[in-house]
Amino acid sequence: MAAPTQGARTGKLELADIVRRHGAAFRATHRLCGAQLRALRAIEGCRTAALGGELRQCDACGERRYLYHSCGNRHCPKCQRLAKERWLADRRAELLPVPYYHLVFTLPHELNALGQGNPRALYAMLFAAAAQTLLEFGRNPRWLGGEIAATLVLHTWGQTLTQHLHVHALVSAGALADEGAWIRAKRGFLFPVKALSQVFRGKFLAALGEAFARGRFALSGSTAALGEPRAQRTLLTQLRAMPWVVYAKRPLAGPEQVLDYLGRYTHRVAISNERLVSASAATVRFRYKDYAHGERRKTMRLEALEFLRRFALHVLPRGFMRIRHYGLLANRTKGACLACARAALQAPVPANTPAPPESVAAFWQRIAGLDITRCPHCHHGTLRFLAVLAPQPHPPP
């Protein structure tokens, strides 16, 4: 896909600039997995001659413009807006006309080191424990007594790029009963948060204990001691004694409000270009919110290699799904379950024929009022395709 911006740089600092400047030194001094190396290479080459593109010419003034391809990597801050909008368009037909709750399930920081060495296993356990907890509470007649609709999104970072392993859950304020009726949640209440926290902790620790017993973790460095059963029992006891955090926000009403809210979380990357302040030969400065002090906006300075180390922590394992659906939205039964839920709610059935994917030009016209086919030089002519630009393995800076 050709980038919507022209070949000229805007002058604003980007994550790609930091990777290009410090990436070689970072790779030389840090042991990275394949997914991390691929993500850094993609970000470095995004919208440059390294990926190729198109040459276009204005049909009015003759101005020529180079349009380079985007990398499409899910960790690249420049490549998520179109992906997010297309994903949300697909979700519109799945939303039910009911309020939705936003809940957050967080793992204690004592599990960070284990997660760094075993991200696929630990993240899957986090998803399973949070989803099973929500589904069980939904099926419990004391609370609802039916099948809820839930979408869970994994985030692994905090505002300063440190590890903060948690999932955001968007949950319907109601459930579909076995007999086909819709059970509405009490006004302003879904599930008791304290009970959710305890059940979530129990389910996760049961899975963690089983994984230890079956030797499913790769243990080295700071986690090497966990190869001993005694150390495993000590960690499990420590985790069981501490409070676990499940946070519930007020319900969201209306499909458009839900979609807008969901879009803030689904395709977010660890740090956006907008948060970057400056970069020097040795350091990087970026903005963050200090939630411990009333969400005050502050600026942090990090050594450049430490900044990239923290960013690389949040590169997901290859093929790992960070957005998952449960209950009425589970992929295998989604069509039939949503049809029953709409019938119970007397809600209209969405059109069967999906709209064709929106073009890049139409997307930017709708979102930003930007006509990317208009010549930026004379502002009158249209940029017409002239030639394909082959990727350059070693493009000039």
Q: What is the pLDDT of residues 211-249, one digit of tens each?
A: 999 999 999 999 999 999 999 999 999 999 999 989 998
- From first CA to last CA, the distance across the chain in angstroms is 22
Q: What is the DSSP letter of 374?
A: B
Is 181 or 372 the better-scoring residue by pLDDT?
A: 181
325-360 pLDDT per residue, tens? 999 999 999 999 999 999 999 998 876 555 666 677
280-315 pLDDT per residue, tens? 999 999 999 998 888 899 999 999 999 999 999 999
Q: Is residue 338 part of a domain?
A: yes
Task: Indicate the Cα dihedral angle 55, 9, 4, 270, nearest 10°.
Answer: 140
Strand partners, 149: 327
Quote the pLDDT of residue 366: 75
Query: In the structure, what pLDDT confidence band is assigned to residue 10 with cuts at 50, 70 and 90?
Result: low
Q: Is the pLDDT of residue 255 over 60?
A: yes
Task: Indicate the Cα dihedral angle 50, 53, 59, 62, nearest 10°.
Answer: 10
> Taking residues 127-152, what's their average pLDDT?
97
Instruction: Report CA Rg, the chain.
Output: 24
Minimum mean pLDDT among 38-47, 81-90, 156-165, 192-201: which range? 81-90
Query: In the structure, what pLDDT confidence band is assigned to residue 369 with cuts at 50, 70 and 90?
Result: confident
Q: Is 371 helix (H, G, I), strand (E, B) or coil?
A: coil
Q: Is residue 6 part of a domain?
A: no
Q: Is the pLDDT of residue 319 over 60?
A: yes
Q: What is the mean pLDDT of the chain?
A: 91
| Of residues 392, 383, 316, the one with CA closest to residue 4 | 383
Q: Is the pLDDT of residue 149 over 90?
A: yes
Distance, C-alpha 274 to centroid of its chain: 17
Q: Does residue 178 sit in the same domain as residue 324? A: yes
Q: Does residue 257 sit in the same domain as residue 210? A: yes
Q: Does residue 143 sit in the same domain as residue 201? A: yes
Q: Does residue 197 sit in the same domain as residue 136? A: yes
Query: In the structure, what pLDDT confidence band is assigned to residue 4 with cuts at 50, 70 and 90?
Result: very low
Q: Is residue 5 part of a domain?
A: no
Q: Does residue 145 sit in the same domain as residue 248? A: yes
Quote the pLDDT of residue 68: 93
Q: Does residue 64 sit in the same domain as residue 172? A: no
Q: Is residue 229 part of a domain?
A: yes
Q: Does residue 230 sit in the same domain as residue 111? A: yes
Quote the pLDDT of residue 365: 78
Q: Do 283 and 304 contact (CB within 8 A), yes or no?
A: yes
Quote the pLDDT of residue 120: 97
**Number of domains comprising the chain:** 2
Q: Does residue 19 sit in the same domain as residue 140? A: no
Q: Does residue 212 sit in the same domain as residue 146? A: yes
Q: Is residue 257 part of a domain?
A: yes
Q: Is residue 1 part of a domain?
A: no
Q: Is residue 352 part of a domain?
A: no
Quote the pLDDT of residue 3: 46
- Residue 113 domain boundaries: 97-270+313-345
Q: Does residue 158 sit in the same domain as residue 248? A: yes
- Rounded distance, CA 383 to CA 98, Å? 46
Strand partners, 288: 298
Q: What is the DSSP letter of 4?
A: S
Q: Does residue 228 sit in the same domain as residue 207? A: yes
The predicted model scores a pTM of 0.91
Is 266 or 166 the better-scoring residue by pLDDT?
A: 166
Q: Is residue 216 part of a domain?
A: yes
Query: In the structure, what pLDDT confidence band is assigned to residue 6 with cuts at 50, 70 and 90?
Result: very low
Ordered DSSP codes for 25-63? HHHHHS---HHHHHHHHHHHHTTSGGG-EEEEEETTT--
Quote the pLDDT of residue 354: 59
Ordered DSSP codes for 127-185? HHHHHHHHHHHHH-TTTT-SB-EEEEEEEEE-TTS-EEEEEEEEEESEEE-TTSPEEEP
Minimum mean pLDDT among 64-78, 244-258, 261-275: which range? 244-258
Q: Is the pLDDT of residue 34 over 70?
A: yes
Query: In the structure, what pLDDT confidence band is assigned to residue 395 with cuts at 50, 70 and 90?
Result: low
Q: Does residue 243 sit in the same domain as residue 128? A: yes
